[in-house]
Structure 1
C-alpha cells in the first residue's frame, strides 16, 4: 500500500518521536543524575503524547507505526560512545539529544503543512510544545555545562 503525503508526514513524526524516546532510554545510564532528573519529565510526557498520536493516526489516517530501525539505533549508540571518548560525555549526549529535537521539529513542521484530520491537531500541538520545552531545557543544561 502506498502512503499519501499526509500519511508520510505523520509517519515521519511518529518515527522521530520514537527515535528520541529510544535514544534517551538507551543513554539514561550515561547521564548524570541531575541531567536525567531535569530531562525525564519531558520524555515521560513525550511517551504519552506519542501513544495518543499513534492511536489517532491509526483511526484517522489508517497507518500503523513502523518497527524501529535497530541497526540504525545501534550505529547511533556506537557513534555516540566513540565521540564520548574524545569529549565530555554529558556534553556529547546533550548535543545529540538536541539534534533529535531538531529532527522532530522538522517532521512536525512538515506535518503541519498538510491537511490533517482535525482530531490530530491538538495532539500535534502538544508534541510541538513538548519539543520546544525540551529544547529550552537542553539549551539551559548546555549553558550550565560551560
Structure 2
C-alpha cells in the first residue's frame, strides 16, 4: 500500500470506459517509491510521461526511471529495452514485487519545447496511437488499471 498521498485521479476513457487511465504529476524525490507502489497497486500496463525533467534549469520532475535497474520501496524496476522514436522514447520495463513480476511500457514524449507548444502534433499523435494500441492484450481486452 502507499505510504504517502499521491496526487492522482482516474480518467474515464473512450466510450465511457471507467478508470481507463490514471493521471498524476511526476513524482518528487521523496515520493518516487510511492509512485512505483501506485503503479504496482493499480496494475498499470503503461506509463506516459509528457514533461522534461528540467526546464530552464528548474526541476520539473524527479528522475524516477533507473538507467538499468532500481529498487523503490519494495518494488524492483528493470529496463529491459529502449527504443528511440521520432519525438519520444519507449522503454519496456519489468516491475517486480516479491516473487510476482509484470511488464510495463514507459512512453516519454521528449520533443515538447520549453514554454512553447510543439510545432506539429504529428509526433504526439503517433505516440498516442502507439499507447492506445498497446493498451490491449492479445485477446482484445484492455490491460490494467
Could you tell me the TM-score, scaled by structure 1's length?
0.29
Instruction: Name the one with the larger strand percent.
Output: 2
Query: Larger relative CO (CA 8 A, sep 6+): 1 or 2?
Result: 1
Q: Give 1 or 2: higher helix fraction.
A: 1
User: Structure 2 length as normaliser, TM-score?
Assistant: 0.29
